[in-house]
Chains A and B, each alone.
Chain A
Amino acid sequence: MNEYLNIFFVILRRDLTLAFRNKSEFINPLMFFVIIIILFPLAFGSDSALLKQLTSGIIWISALLATCLSLEAIFRSDFEDGSIEQLTLARYPLTLLVSAKVTAHWLTFGLPLIIVALLTGLVLSVPSQTMLALLITLLLGTPVLSLIGAITVALTIGLRGGMLLSLLILPLYMPVLIFSMLAVQNATVGQSIAAEIYFLSGILVLAITLAPITTAAALRIRLS
């Protein structure tokens, strides 16, 4: 067991080091996230009541789109230099290695994204109870995005065109978006958000249990 934990942290540290060394890959999705958020005030006028209502939704949709762009980074460099094949041949379960890589993706993309979302929320003066709900849903939701995303990336990596990935992944993301936005809306009008939080946690637990296994199976198929 200890050995497995060790391996997990070795892979995690390796991926984090790689991500921080290649700063553009790490920062570009976040820039994209902020730029999409900026587009909305430009389109609807900076001051409108409509925009105030939409802010948390805009943040969530931007997060989804930015995730689509960042996902490929999970396996791309390993796929290009062939180290992914080494990983599948290792004597450790591929599921474990995949979980480490997904964790690394969330730490380098999901976590900074939540911080940036918090800052944008503050700048755009989102009310505090809405902000709290937004943060909780992002905290529960972004790991799901990384986990489900890893499956589709494993299926599509190396195929021509990045459009396919977005086409496959966005329908699968819709429940997360729906529950998160329901929670945010409930919080805005001062209602309880427990039900939505339970659902999001349930989806997260399901994703943590099944997604790494599925991702490992998908990688094996792609590399066979």
Chain B
Amino acid sequence: MSLTDFLSMGGYAKYIWPVYGICAVVLFLNIALPIFRERKVIRELQKRLQSEESKT
């Protein structure tokens, strides 16, 4: 099977690839956004901790 055969998906390419594309985007966002948020929260908490410790 050639690559073009694979990409054309027996004529259903315009239905199949958008589904897999949307799936990839949604799954990626569900991992990336929480990771960003985790980092942001850790950074903020560290900053708060630092200012607390410098006061005492």
Q: Per the CB under 8 Å rule, do A and B touch in the complex? A: no
